[in-house]
Structure 1
Amino acid sequence: MTQYHQADFDTDFGGTFPFKPNFTNAPGFAMHYVDEGPHGDETVLCLHGEPTWGYLFRHLIPVLSEDYRVVVPDHMGFGKSATPRDRSYWLQDHIDNLERFVLALDLQEITLVMHDFGGPVGMGLAARHPDRIRRLISTNGPTPFGQPDLADRLTANSVTSPWFQWILKAEKGGSLETVLGQLGFNILSTLKLNGFENNELITETWLAAYGSRFASPADCLGAIGWAKGFATGAHRFEIPDVAAVRAIREKPALAIWGEADRTLQAEHFMPLFTELFPSAPVHRLPGVGHYCLEDAPDVVGRLITDFIRRN
């Protein structure tokens, strides 16, 4: 079993993540982000989830940055961003951080690309600043936006999702923080439990990219927070006002969903998207799991590029 150290993380992982690191203290900690491509009027803002970081978008960044500014922040406690010990890691904290980040960089005409928990974080930003959003793209990322049945959908999904079943059981039994506090050791089982189908991805470099960020329990506060917030009900979804709902409904939107996703199952979460964007295109990818950007990066990249060019 590989033992990681934080120093192992400060690399480009064998040239697989060859992007210049950028940092801002606008959210109250050192937030890392990738910023590639021409700084024109538009920005593609890519938001990761649990327990990943900007590495998830490594195939998408060079494709889109030929024509657009591509900004990929790492949430607090993930990737190359800091993990402050005096902060809470609930959904609302990540929305606050993203808002401060976007305002500090004055990002406008934003195309949101959202995966996993990046969905509710991105939709939180959209609720607060709909005027800054140009397009919305879900890649196995839920799009909660004030729908009244969200709680019911979360509950129904947790009944059959192995990841959410484990979270609830582990929190009840007192082992959640202990297990996720050793995420550097069990990153592969965690990723597999969430679901990816392409086992050819599993190399030492790939494992180091995802695992070495979590070298000690103190490094795992972000991953623990996402899970614990669900189990304890501490996450608060942003509720948009009527004007924000009206504005966002008019934006071009796209959904890409790996149908083999066992963590966020399409039957429970796709209606959040289709109710908000009833005429938007939806691409369901057979045999592709929760991490669609890992399982099918070429397909996802082509769909996103074509969508942006058409809209």
Structure 2
Amino acid sequence: MTDHATTLAGTFPYTPHFTDSPGFRMHYVDEGPADGEVLLCLHGEPTWGYLFRDLIKTLRGTWRVVVPDHMGFGKSETPQGRSYWLQDHIDNLERLVLSLDLTGITLVMHDFGGPVGMGLAARHPDRIRRVISANGPTPFGQATLPQRVMANAAESPWFRWIAKAEADGSLETVLGQLGFNILSTLKLNGFEHNAIISDAWLAAYAAPFATPADCLGAIGWAKGFATGAHRFETPDAAAERAIRGKPALAIWGEADRTLGAEHFLPLFTEIFPAAPVKRLAGVGHYCLEDAPAAVAGLVSAFMRQT
């Protein structure tokens, strides 16, 4: 867990907020007008709310930007003795949203924030106003999901490593040292803008994983895929109809080597066939690091247009 008071050399100058509603100390950023429309930004593996730092800065003047850290990531607690599967993260997010009574939510989802956010949408479609995928899968009960996940896993360096490491017993050992190998892990997943690497940037992404006990979130997400422990939320018919009618936007860095556009963008277009898809050439998996201004501009324009 990152020191809750740190601003990481001024790169993350946002007031920390905490809730115990999910049964552990969960951190979230809550910036912008309290009565503004809510953007709920959901990170993935092995990042945290720091990923959205530029988006928060750009959008908080107009909208309320809420950015939680999932259990075991960022400034949130990493409780021992709990499981870290997809369904656990959906449960935690649901409790946060209900405790804050967030409504009219625009989901902004990256990486595994996609299935977490879509799980929330399946349970509470009435609380969702818009859906934005930023290199984040949008599983929503599609029959093609298992085949797409397997096809992507066969090509992705990250998912191939997960399968190999689980098979040879090294997954927990390697990811248990994530504070020391964070750069290689991030690069394996893929970003293109190497100029962003600095001591402060490395410290921001390494700090949550100082000890093996701090790495349970990162281990759990990878191990869940390797063992099939994750459970995707399936919407009922009413929730599916409701979400299909929401405004939606996909932003996808085309150089993503972890989540192939050919495998996961069809999940988005199956739900939102008329929604715009903005492809960013030369931008990798971490589109919010490679092209923060472009992503913020697209999100802002979409909010204003819808």
Q: For residues 63 and 306 of structure 1, what CA distance do their matches in structure 2 show? A: 12
1:211 equivalent in structure 2: 206
Show CA shifts across 1:68-92 (max 9, x none): 1110000000000000002100000
Inter-partner Cα distance in structure 1 for 2:2 and 2:66: 24
Other-structure match for 1:102: 97
Paired AA for residue 38 in structure 1: P
Encode CA deviations 1:151-202: one digit per residue, 9 max, x unaligned.
Answer: 0000000111000000000000000000000000000000000000000011
Identify the residue that residue 177 of structure 1 maps to in structure 2: 172
**Any conservation in 1 of the 2:29–2:65 contact (CA below 8 Å)?**
yes
Partner of 2:148: 153
- Cα distance in 2 between the residues matched to 1:83 and 1:212: 13
Matches within 5 A, 1:252-291: 252-291=247-286
CA gap of 1:128–1:8, structure 2 versus 1, over 3 A, is closer
Give the number of equivalent residue pairs. 306
Structure 2 unaligned residues grouped into runs of 5+: none
User: 1:128-159, CA deviations, whole angstroms, 9 ceiling, x for partnerless residues?
Assistant: 00000000000000000000010000000011
Q: Give the alignment of 1:66-81 within 5 angstroms.
A: 66-81=61-76
SS for the counterpart of 1:280 is coil
- Root-mean-square deviation (CA, aligned residues, Å) is 0.9
> Whole-Å Cα distance in 2 between the matches of residues 175 and 192 of structure 1?
19
* Alignment-mate amino acid for residue 106 of structure 1: D
**TM-score (ref. length: structure 1):** 0.97
Aligned to 2:246: 251
State the Cα deviation string for residues 32-67 of structure 1 (Å, max 9, x = none): 000000011521100000000000000000211111
In the alignment, what sits opposite 2:304?
Answer: 309
Instruction: State how far apart, in whole Å, the 2-side matches of 1:172 and 1:53 are.
Output: 27
Q: Which residue of 2 aligns with 1:117?
A: 112
2:279 and 2:128 map into 1 onto residues whose CA distance is 24
Q: Which of 117, 131, 134 does residue 139 from structure 1 map onto?
A: 134
Secondary structure in structure 2 of the residue aligned to 1:58: helix
Inter-partner Cα distance in structure 2 for 1:7 and 1:226: 19
CA contact (8 A) 2:3 2:75 kept: no
Name 2:35's counterpart in structure 1. Answer: 40
Matched residue, 2:88: 93
Match of residue 183, structure 2, among 182, 188, 193? 188
Deviation at 1:7, TM superposition (A): 6.8
> 1:211 aligns to what SS in structure 2?
helix
TM-score after normalising by structure 2: 0.99
Relative to structure 1, is the Cα distance of residues 7 and 274 closer, same or farther in structure 2, using a 3 angstrom cutoff? closer
The answer to whether structure 1 residue 19 and structure 2 residue 14 are counterparts is yes
- The corresponding residue for 1:59 is 54
CA distance in 2, matches of 1:257, 1:9: 31
Report what 1:3 is aligned to: none
2:23 paired residue number: 28
